[in-house]
Amino acid sequence: MDEPPRNWTLDGTRVGLLVGAVTLHCLIGVALADAYGTDEFARRDWFAFREAGRAALSSEALYSPRPGGFPFLHPPYVAAIFAPLGSLSDGAFFVVMTALSLVGLGLFVLALRKLQPLHEEHDVVLLGLLASAPWAIGLVLGQPSALVLGAWLTAFWLVDRDRPLAAGLLFGLCAIKPPYVVAPIVYALLSRRYRILGGVGIAAVALLLLSLMVGQWREWVAAVARVLGDVGDGEVALWKQHTLLAFLRELLPRPVALGVWGAVWLGFLGLFFRVRDVTMPMLRVAGWLALGTIALSPFAYFYDALILVVPAAALWLNRETYPYRFRWPLAALVALTFAAQHVGYFVVQAGPLPTGLLATGWLLLEMLAIRSADHGVAELDGQPDGDA
């Protein structure tokens, strides 16, 4: 039996991504070695998590400004989760945060294989993730974005397995970063999978009970409102944001930017409603919801854009489910987003960066592709729960 012809383009893509991933991780190692034990090392996000855990144990204020470092902006229950680790040394806590990223990576790979089994091109997705700027920046800063990504995609796999309550619990636990819960809730409402909402509710109650040891909910709301105001007023480094709002705010006065952003939000909500009954693989569902989570959020930092690996994986592994005329434009947007992240975060470090605009255009093309393709390749969301 003759072997299939070798795909030199695919092999070249693998080699290029492998070289990029190895180079990026070598640079990460050098950067960490240079900063370790210095004030620079302590001015990163992992330090804010560790100090929040320590403050939760000693009933100190969580949301007071921390000169020279990143503020803690996560809900009080996140501080309660990290409380048992608040006494760890710098090195030990950073190792814990790195381990959480690796756990998230493992969950992502497992969920991807469950959602799209027996596909010989999973390695391209993994190499692309490892060569991405959001992955590298998350590792350097000690952000748990990869853990949330893994749990988030695993939840969609549970939805695909018709286990909506368990999926909702996992979505709820992703509330370590609250914007990640908005899209699953919208999806549950539009697809009439109300047991997902039940799982999210159970997780929310558990997290609220956990937060009782910390309190400070009013202070958290004030801190988030302050950050949202800073984004709207352009008083933060908007190039670090990966949203449409940040891009618009770089170019337009605040009222105009907010008005355009609100109109776009309403437009996409209408599109989401219109595609709720279209059939497609669950990986594609997770993909366009991931795009909406980043592009339409009021703020999403560069490391949060790691979740964009989901729509990229959907396009790559499910490309036969896309109308042909949309494949190359979508592939171009993926490549441009990947390149803009690297150039923006490692070279330019100034705005306006087009990452938020690219993510929004990517979302729009994805939604138009869904609308234009009435091809039943798989179910969008299975059958409704029947418990409405």
The answer on pLDDT for 34 being more than 80 is yes
Output the average pLDDT for the chain: 85
Burial class of 365 by CB neighbour count within 10 A (0 to 12, 13 to 18, 19+): middle
Confidence of residue 377 (pLDDT cuts 50, 70, 90): very low
Q: In angstroms, rounded to a whole number, what is the distance separating the alpha carbons of residues 112 and 110?
A: 5
Query: What are 251-295's pLDDT values in tens digits?
Result: 888 889 889 999 998 988 888 877 766 778 899 999 989 999 999
Q: What is the helix (H) or strand (E) element at residue 367, kind and residue range?
A: helix 355-372
Q: Exposed e or buried b for every residue in 38-67, given b needs 16+ CB within 10 A?
A: eeebbbbbbbbbbbbbbbbbeeeebbeeee
For the segment 85-91, the average pLDDT, to the nearest whole number, is: 88
Write the DSSP string, 45-98.
HHHHHHHHHHHHHHT--SSS--TTS----S-HHHHHHHGGGTTS-HHHHHHHHH
Beta carbons within 8 Å of 209's beta carbon, 6+ residues apart: none
Question: How many C-beta atoms surround the C-beta of residue 2 within 10 A?
Answer: 4
Task: Read off the DSSP letter of residue 301.
Answer: B
Statement: the pTM of the whole predicted model exceeds 0.75? yes
DSSP 380: S
Sorted by sequence, the CB contacts under 8 Å of residue 202 that are 6+ apart come out as: 165, 168, 169, 172
Q: Span 127-144, mean pLDDT?
A: 92
pLDDT at residue 327, rounded to an integer: 92
CB neighbours (10 Å) of residue 14?
Answer: 16
| CA gap 101, 104 in Å, rounded | 5
Contacts of 359 (CB under 8 A, 6+ apart): 242, 243, 244, 291, 294, 295, 305, 308, 337
Portion of the chain with pLDDT greater than 90, in percent? 41
Tell me what pLDDT residue 70 has.
Answer: 64
CA 75 – CA 211 distance, rounded (Å): 8
Q: What angle do CA 262, 263, 268 make, to 5 degrees?
A: 100
How far is residue 87's CA from residue 50's CA, in Å, rounded to a whole number? Answer: 8
CA 176 to chain centre: 12
Alpha carbons 110 and 71: distance in angstroms, whole number: 33
User: Given pLDDT bands bounded at 50, 70 and 90, which one contains residue 37?
Assistant: confident
What DSSP designation does 320 have?
G
